[in-house]
Amino acid sequence: MQQPALTRLLVRNARSQKFLKAAGGWTKEAEAAWNFPNPVNAIHTCMAKGLRQVELVVRFEGDSGDRRLVVNCR
């Protein structure tokens, strides 16, 4: 059985609810956020930037909405 494709993978600050942009800043707009290619890349970026208490916002092909996974990068 094939897994559904990941269509969205964003990092969101759990406190401010803003999304991480590729340039390193933050935005309120999900459409302007950095769409990571995979979860390992997203978590590695969070660790490298010293980000804590973030959420991974994910959507899979066929989903009608986003899923949120709380991540504490230490």
pLDDT in tens, 2-58: 778 888 999 999 999 999 999 889 999 999 999 999 999 999 999 999 998 899 999
Angle at 24 between CA 48 and CA 62, to 5 degrees: 90
Q: Which of 55, 48, 62, 74 is nearest to 15 (CA)?
A: 55
pLDDT of residue 5: 86
